[in-house]
Structure 1
């Protein structure tokens, strides 16, 4: 008997009614058996039609009777029925289980299958079957609602809550109006723009292009815009801008903060998605297998942000292993994946290079800096003439002050400069630590404004004991505690996130000591302090229910460094006991790298020199550790520490001479050689640029001519 399927279905027709009733019974479904049978037949027909178009299909060696018998046995197979039953429970069937069932039945029936075509046949069948069921409508409705929430959450870029006296609030702006897409390069080591060939660089918005590998890693320095880039990708995929990104249609964005995933009792990505994401976006009625469905279809763009934010290195490696297994699993390998991290906290063996090409986010060039400034002021002022005037003012200032121009190649620092320039252009600082200091001072002005403007508002409690002058000290102590605590405690995997109760407990002690009040009063003040922070300050933000984090790790690191320095300046111990102790204790810990660089930068010349010599002397008998320490000392010079050359024990010439020895060493590892190159180039616009070029020139006969020219191009432009 010829059925709508196009071949004799005597055996299949006989078994399907029984199979359908059994599936409905086990699933406890109210679905009409006729509808379920129709869904199965429609799926079979679609799979058979697709198979017929092939030169050698799945059942090429079978006649109609054998096909009928084989499919009847397949659908009688309990494993197949279980997967079809799952679809009635809002779960997408497991394709691998169905493939194994096909193989098992074929072996039992001695049917010869064209094995490469099993998966395409099964995938076509199950997709059409699923789409014919009522559950598919629920999946589509859930997807529409989910995308709306992703767009709502990701389409605006949020700046830290800035309010200067007499000025209005800085409100979030549409991401597309202000975000400047960075360039990236596919290279092992982040290189300086002077050494790049333009053909090596690509715009980051092309990283999802179908012509590129499915799974990639993006590395970027602090403040380079990694998280904002991921937000941009999530928003654009949710807004179905597939053509702009070079993607196929009908994809689902999945944005995960890796630190949130790592904080789960068990690292299970599917469980995290199904349980946490609906809560995060306030979604109701998400089908149980919703995320699994899109992932198995290869219809997801998985954005995994911030592997570096797991402070414990063993936990970081464990999470990386889970992520690698998940995204390369046969079930999900068809999805596009991007993972981000800072390079300093990243180990190259986390993700195999052939499978995961690694891209580095490049600093902004002048055109991108100017574009950001234009967009910034166009969103800040409705008056186009005023916007143009402000744009010209800042660009002119940057052209006159080369040191700031170097700083603003970093998007975070560029944002801070724009924020500060809007209100107080004369205060723009020349160095990184001073820029952070000014930015934090600006952020904390919000608190004083709240006390004057909103003390009648019932939603805010008054700070009874804390004064404006206490705010930064408390934030310094808090930053140090967070930074230290999350290294020591294995169950605190993120470098920044902390539970509210723990913050209250720590702040209570600090406030009690600072204000000499009873502990219960200090605890209430700590509660008020956190409420104010989450309501107004851009320094510490709520990250999920009852958890908080610094808005950017850079602020945490700067304030942590300030706390260490304060303890020394306040006479709580000698320079060796406090500053040098922290340097020696954490020199090889990537989590502390930025803290130590900033700590050294904020010292006076003689203590800076003392700290750098201590770094150079530590473990110098170990060649690899010495290379690490020498390069770290070189990084200290790139910060252009204040008047270091005036110190009696100035180490700068020694560092430069030792770096040149590495430069001309023919046996040096290429990774270290690349770091040497970056260190020398980053001395541009410091007081050491001239000396660096001189020691290089003395050895130019042993340096590649093209490389030497690159050094000249960079260092001869120095301010010195």
Structure 2
């Protein structure tokens, strides 16, 4: 039997089990997708020796769901509670205790090889979960420093006797959400044809057609656009940089509802100033983000693959400020 990830299904129901058995502290550190991914990586690594190849397709997967969300779960939560590796002996006991509930798996594997199988699983699972925990700790530090860095808005003025020359305020306290116009996509090939055949002015047509969209608050950008990809255009001083900073600060301070999202959404904002990035010729965007976080914002050294982890998991938002101020290569 070759283990197929799709047959295992989602392990998110284990989260309800966590509350049921009282692991509240683990739930604060544990993301359902992280738990699922760590389990899957452990199973894939252990299954290379084909211990359960004699099982019918689907039988072992059903058994695993019962095991991981049942008797083995307290042992699997150890990395999230005290950083300890799951004890293989306890996993073996949990495995053997679950077997009688699944008659079809009995006699379909070699019990003498079970310990080695679970040893590989536990080692891989522990490596993954500790890595995810490091990412969570690093994220908390990154968000704290990001909020501190972009939340202060400084005002400068002329020197006046007995008055401050510079003053700062918190962004969230003074920010006024602007309106935006949605520019509809232009069928450039159709417009070119109309220019050639009907003699219409291409530039005038593009200008008219790209200003025919809807008007709404900028806070709705993330909910109005299903792909969450947009370009924010505006004249100098219209508030583009301030808006992106507001997005980043609200996510960093865990106020996604102010951006139209549900509370509790886990998203890492990655704000990149293209003007500064363009000055560096031998660095990519994520390397620049790391350098900015560690050297400019004084974030503690980030673990390898930090930004890639959040992006690949769909829990990050890249905010590029000033696309016209440099070239993206």
TM-score of the aligned structures, taking structure 1 as reference length = 0.25
Contact kept in structure 2, 1:130 and 1:136, CA below 8 Å:
no
Judged with a 3 Å threshold, the aligned counterparts in structure 2 of structure 1 residues 168 and 209 are, in CA distance, closer, same or farther, namely same
Deviation of the 1:228 alpha carbon: 0.6
User: Taking CA–CA contacts closer than 8 Å with sequence separation of 6 or more, which of the two structures ends up with the larger relative contact order?
Assistant: 2
Deviations 1:590-646, CA, capped at 9 Å, x for gaps: xxxxxxxxxxxxxxxxxxxxxxxxxxxxxxxxxxxxxxxxxxxxxxxxxxxxxxxxx
Partner of 2:268: 252
Deviations 1:418-468, CA, capped at 9 Å, x for gaps: xxxxxxxxxxxxxxxxxxxxxxxxxxxxxxxxxxxxxxxxxxxxxxxxxxx
Partner of 2:18: none
Contact kept in structure 1, 2:141 and 2:300, CA below 8 Å:
no
Judged with a 3 Å threshold, the aligned counterparts in structure 2 of structure 1 residues 293 and 135 are, in CA distance, closer, same or farther, namely same
Partner of 1:203: 217
Distance 1:244 1:233 in 2: 9
Partner of 1:42: 39
Partner of 2:239: 225
Deviation of the 1:41 alpha carbon: 7.9
Contact kept in structure 2, 1:39 and 1:129, CA below 8 Å:
no
SS of the aligned residue for 2:132 comes to helix
Distance 2:224 2:142 in 1: 24
Deviation of the 1:65 alpha carbon: 4.3
Partner of 1:269: 285
SS of the aligned residue for 2:291 comes to helix
SS of the aligned residue for 1:157 comes to strand
SS of the aligned residue for 1:64 comes to coil
Partner of 2:226: 212
What runs of 5+ residues in structure 2 fail to find an aligned partner?
A: 8-34, 45-52, 62-120, 185-205
1:173 is matched with which residue: 169, 173, 184?
169
Deviation of the 1:273 alpha carbon: 2.1
SS of the aligned residue for 1:222 comes to coil
Distance 1:166 1:152 in 2: 28
Judged with a 3 Å threshold, the aligned counterparts in structure 2 of structure 1 residues 212 and 159 are, in CA distance, closer, same or farther, namely farther
Deviation of the 1:164 alpha carbon: 2.2
**RMSD over aligned Cα, in angstroms?**
3.8
Deviation of the 1:148 alpha carbon: 0.5
Judged with a 3 Å threshold, the aligned counterparts in structure 2 of structure 1 residues 64 and 160 are, in CA distance, closer, same or farther, namely farther
Distance 2:151 2:56 in 1: 57
Contact kept in structure 1, 2:270 and 2:316, CA below 8 Å:
yes
Distance 2:158 2:127 in 1: 49
Distance 1:223 1:201 in 2: 20
Q: Map of 1:176-195 to 2, 5 A cutoff? A: 176-187=172-183
2:153 is matched with which residue: 154, 157, 164?
157
Partner of 1:503: none
SS of the aligned residue for 2:231 comes to strand
Deviation of the 1:297 alpha carbon: 0.7
Deviation of the 1:69 alpha carbon: 11
SS of the aligned residue for 1:219 comes to coil
SS of the aligned residue for 2:140 comes to helix
TM-score of the aligned structures, taking structure 2 as reference length = 0.53
Partner of 1:290: 306
**Aligned: 1:234 with 2:248:** yes
Deviations 1:150-183, CA, capped at 9 Å, x for gaps: 1101222122354323423341111122111111
Contact kept in structure 2, 1:184 and 1:204, CA below 8 Å:
yes
Distance 2:169 2:156 in 1: 12
Give the number of the structure whose residues are more often helix, by fraction.
1
Distance 2:162 2:60 in 1: 83
Deviation of the 1:44 alpha carbon: 6.2
Deviation of the 1:129 alpha carbon: 4.8
Partner of 1:281: 297
Contact kept in structure 1, 2:278 and 2:325, CA below 8 Å:
no
Contact kept in structure 2, 1:163 and 1:170, CA below 8 Å:
no
Distance 1:130 1:206 in 2: 40
Distance 2:321 2:244 in 1: 7
Judged with a 3 Å threshold, the aligned counterparts in structure 2 of structure 1 residues 165 and 130 are, in CA distance, closer, same or farther, namely farther
What runs of 5+ residues in structure 1 fail to find an aligned partner?
A: 8-37, 48-61, 71-124, 311-315, 323-720
SS of the aligned residue for 1:143 comes to helix
